[in-house]
Amino acid sequence: MTAETQSIQFIPLNQLIPSPRNVRRKDRKADIDSLAASISARGLLQNLCVVPSADCKYEVDAGGRRLAALKKLARDKTIPKDFAVPCHVVGLEEGREVSLIENVHRVAMDAMDEVDAFAALIAEGATPDDVARRFGVTRRHVDQRLVLAGLSPKIKAAWKRGDVSLEAARAFCLVEDHAQQEAVFRSLGRPVTHAASVRARLMEGRMRASDRVARFVGLHAYELAGGAVVRDLFDADAVYVGDPALMTQLAEQKLDGARETWLEQGWGWVEINLGQRSGEGYSATRLQPDWRECTDAEEAELSRLRSELEALDAALDDDSVEDDPRWETRDDLAAAIETLRQSARVWDADVIAHAGVVLSINHDGDVQATLGVVRSSNEKTVKAIRKKKAALAEAAEGESSEEGMIDSETDAASADEGFESECRLPKSVIRDLSQARTRAIRLLLARDRDTALAVAVAAMLVRAVFRSDLSGIGVAAHPAHVEDIDAFAETRSAILAHAPEHEADVLGWCLAQPSGTLLALLAVLVADSVDLVHEKGAPSDRRRNALADTLAEALDLDMREFWQADAGYWTRLPKAELLAALAESPTLVDKSQKSRDATMAAHAKLKKDELAVRVDEAFAGAGYLPDLLVTSVPQGVIELTTAGAAAIAAE
């Protein structure tokens, strides 16, 4: 028996106390619960190192966390207070050295080691709840480790050697298919550290739960309809819709329920557009409502609401905090004012019978109704009805004017009463006067770039934010329903956050802004109106593709920064296209013609899915782009230099 084994003694727990010489100063109490659970399940696997002290006590120089865990078990009455603890008894001079050695040479368990340990216990018959209890961790922690255990062996090996970060490895767990995991892994540069990039590649073609259509339908309704949802066990916000077609179908069915309401109001037709239509077939003519005078009761209610809102604004300016509940009250007041104001809109029943409503979903997942849309086939009818009504109104106005000549002296006496007197002018006269002023404004506006910029931005802002029009200004940007990159959505939200809350304040606000602010707003509003999604075959598809080419060239767009070919892309192509792409791959370019022919012949015998995997491997890391995504080089950019000409001549 050695001297060391002779110094191991079983000492009652209530005689052990923490040592002031223990070198560990941080994390002394870290994860005591899990350590206590481990000791309770498997016993104390390592003895404590103690130094005798006065009063028959022993100071624990090495094993302070184990002591704390044992004390916890005693408090919980899992073990007795005098539980016999195996201790290595050393002298006072050795105590600090032993403590230092134990803590300096401690190596924490690697996450992958824990993954393998949990997986081994499950394989032996333990349940996830059993593992959670034995290690003192949550069931979710165990589930996460078990999901990581199911990773492709290649990705686990890359994780262990540092080619994949823990966050990226977690992202790979979104799918169970090892082939898909490995295809995405091969397409990414090393090391793989960006979890968002991994998720984007794995979930390409699927819809995020934050998509406007998914928000509108709701995940609960989608799942009740049999739709599958992919949830990231490590990121609660990473939720994906497995069947976007079903989600779109449910959205259309839900919107279809509102169709009858609009038809009952007299509209000729109601269509649903979730972004798959470009607006082709619609006329440029857009109906606008008239505004009736508010009743006395409505005016009184508007006055009351506005006074209440002004008083609340003053109070919020004085002592508001960010989470002040009065902000919700303010939102309710503003909404009530706008609702009451909008109730004064009046649509001409004869005209809207030949026009319609387009129902869509906005960025927040709410229904958006675009009223007064006229189809190209109905444009002549609508114009004829409006022209006839205008002629009747002008005739009636002329009769009223002739009757009014009897009281011309009275009218002259009241000529200084301002707008009330001016409104008595015949309609045709008002039109001529306003036309003269319009001509003058158009000329001066053409000479004043700053004011023109402000007016354009104001009109576009009213359309984008308030879904309305700046009356008399034919400039508008209609937001397109496109699933945007997060960076653009954040930019849009940030810049529109500074816009006025009320539609009536927009023009004045824009006129007061510097040109830099207006140009920044203009860029976002224009970008938000762009929808160049197309298919092929129709003239409109060709026009959109040509416009996209022009803009890509002007913006110097490199699609390699935003898109990469992955296994999901290649599997969607016909076999002939896969073989054509393979022939141009980097792995075949440098081969001899004989070798190329042999390789192509061998690959032609593969099934399409197998061939897609081979093509994906052939282009891994090559930055491949299909012709549709290649931006043309502008004319004049490439120039043959003297050195280049000499190099060509030397060949």
My answer on whether 424 and 441 are in the same domain is yes
Domain co-membership, 301 together with 373: yes
The domain in which residue 29 lies consists of 3-104
pLDDT band at 107 (very low <50, low <70, confident <90, very high): very low
Give the single-character DSSP code of 502: S
Residue 599 included in any domain: yes
Using the 3D structure, point to which of 104, 131, 147 is the last residue of a domain. 104
Q: How confident is the model at residue 113 (pLDDT cuts 50, 70, 90)?
A: low
Q: Which of 104, 137, 172 is the last residue of a domain?
A: 104
Over residues 446-474, mean pLDDT: 71
Residues forming beta bridges with residue 86, ordered by sequence position: 10
- Considering the domain architecture, whether residues 490 and 448 belong to the same structural domain is answered as yes
- Lowest-confidence segment of 206-215, 323-332, 366-375, 555-564 by average pLDDT: 555-564
Please state the rounded mean pLDDT for residues 397-426. Answer: 44
CB-based contact 483:215 (threshold 8 Å)? no
Place of tokens 């606008």: 288
CA 401 from chain centre, in angstroms, equals: 60
Residue 434: strand, helix, or coil:
helix
Domain match, 282 and 376 both: yes
- The mean per-residue pLDDT over the stretch 133-138 comes to 71
| DSSP three-state, residue 464 | helix
Over residues 587-598, the pLDDT tens digits come to 777 778 888 888
Span 134-139, average pLDDT: 72
- Tokens representing 372? 């007064």
Which pLDDT score, from 0 to 100, does residue 13 have?
92
Q: Of 104, 129, 156, which one is at a domain's C-terminal end?
A: 104
With the CA atoms of 273, 274, 280 and 283 taken in that order, what torsion angle do they form, in degrees rounded to the nearest 10? 40
Inter-CA distances, 533 with 205, 275, 536, 578, 634, Å = 15, 9, 10, 24, 23
CB 166 within 8 A of CB 137: no
pLDDT at residue number 136: 65
Tell me how far apart the terminal alpha carbons of the chain are, to the nearest angstrom: 86
Give the strand pairing for 282-286 and 367-375. antiparallel
DSSP assignment of 62-106, as one string?
A: E-HHHHHHHHHHHHTTSS-TT-EEEEEE--HHHHHHHHHHHHHT-
pLDDT of 209 > 80? The answer is: yes
Pairing of strands 229-232, 48-52: unpaired
Q: Is residue 374 part of a domain?
A: yes
Answer yes or no: is 124 within a domain.
Answer: no
Nearest in space to 467 (alpha carbons), one of 336, 375, 370: 370
* pLDDT confidence band for 100 (50 / 70 / 90): low
Over residues 447-454, mean pLDDT: 68
More confident residue, 39 or 530: 39
Q: Model confidence over 534-587: pLDDT tens digits? A: 665 566 666 767 766 776 776 677 777 777 888 777 887 788 888 888 888 887
| Domain match, 397 and 413 both | no
How many CB atoms are closer than 10 A to CB 575?
15
pLDDT at position 103 over 80? no
Counting other chains too, the contacts that 216-221 makes at CB distance below 8 Å and 24 or more residues apart are 216/251, 216/254, 216/361, 216/365, 216/366, 216/367, 217/247, 217/250, 217/251, 217/254, 221/250
Torsion on CA atoms 434, 440, 442, 448, rounded to nearest 10? -140
Percent of the chain with pLDDT over 90: 2
Token code pair at residue 334? 């503003």
d(CA 389, CA 508): 34
Residue type, 287: L
Of the listed ranges 104-118, 387-401, 485-499, the least confidently predicted one is: 104-118
Instruction: Say how many C-beta atoms besides its own lie within 10 A of residue 631's C-beta.
Output: 17
If pLDDT is split at 50, 70 and 90, which confidence band does 397 have? low
Which of 115-129, 414-428, 431-445, 621-635 is least confident?
414-428
Query: What is the sign, positive or negative, of the torsion defined by CA atoms of 604, 607, 608, 613?
Result: negative
pLDDT at 276 exceeding the cut of 50: yes
Residue 430 and residue 515 share a domain:
yes
Q: Do 393 and 318 fall within a single domain? A: yes
Task: Indicate whether 608 and 516 sit together in one domain.
Answer: no
pLDDT digits (tens, 9 = 90+) for 50-66: 888 877 889 988 888 88
Task: Report, as an integer, the average pLDDT of 346-354.
Answer: 88
Q: What does the pLDDT average to over 211-240?
A: 85
- Please give the residue that has the higher pLDDT: either 490 or 328: 328
426-444 burial string, b = 16+ CB within 10 Å, else e?
A: ebeeeeeeeeeeeeeeeee
Asked if residue 257 is part of any domain, the answer here is no
In whole angstroms, what is the distance from residue 497 CA to residue 464 CA? 12
Confidence of residue 511 (pLDDT cuts 50, 70, 90): confident
Q: Are residues 318 and 348 in the same domain?
A: yes
Q: Which residue did the predictor score with more confidence, 510 or 445? A: 510
Strands (E), 342-492: 345-346, 356-361, 367-375
In a domain, 71, yes or no: yes
Q: For all residues of the chain together, what is the average pLDDT?
A: 76
Say how many CA atoms lie within 13 Å of 407 toward its Cβ.
10
Indicate the helix (H) or strand (E) that contains 644.
helix 642-650
Residue 462: Cβ-neighbour burial (10 angstroms; 0-12, 13-18, 19+): buried
Q: Is the pLDDT of residue 281 over 50?
A: yes
Domain count, the chain: 4
In a domain, 581, yes or no: yes
CB 100 within 8 A of CB 65: no
The answer on 453 and 422 residing in a single domain is: yes
∠ CA 603-604-610 to the nearest 5 degrees?
60
CB atoms within 10 A of CB 218: 15
What's residue 74's pLDDT?
A: 92
In a domain, 490, yes or no: yes
Confidence of residue 70 (pLDDT cuts 50, 70, 90): very high
**What CATH number did the domain enclosing 99 receive?**
3.90.1530.10
Q: Does the bond joining 574 to the residue before it have cis omega, within 30 degrees of 0? A: no
Same domain? For 386 and 439 the reply is no
In this structure, is residue 621 part of a structural domain? yes
- Residue count of the chain, please give it: 651
Q: Same structural domain for residues 469 and 394?
A: no
- Backbone φ and ψ of 60, nearest 5°: -90, 105
Q: Which of 356, 357, 358, 352 is nearest to 385 (CA)?
A: 352
**pLDDT at 105 > cutoff 70:** no
The per-residue pLDDT for 4 is 46
Q: Identify the bridge partners of residue 291 per DSSP, sorted by sequence position.
A: 345
Would the pLDDT of 155 be above 60?
A: yes
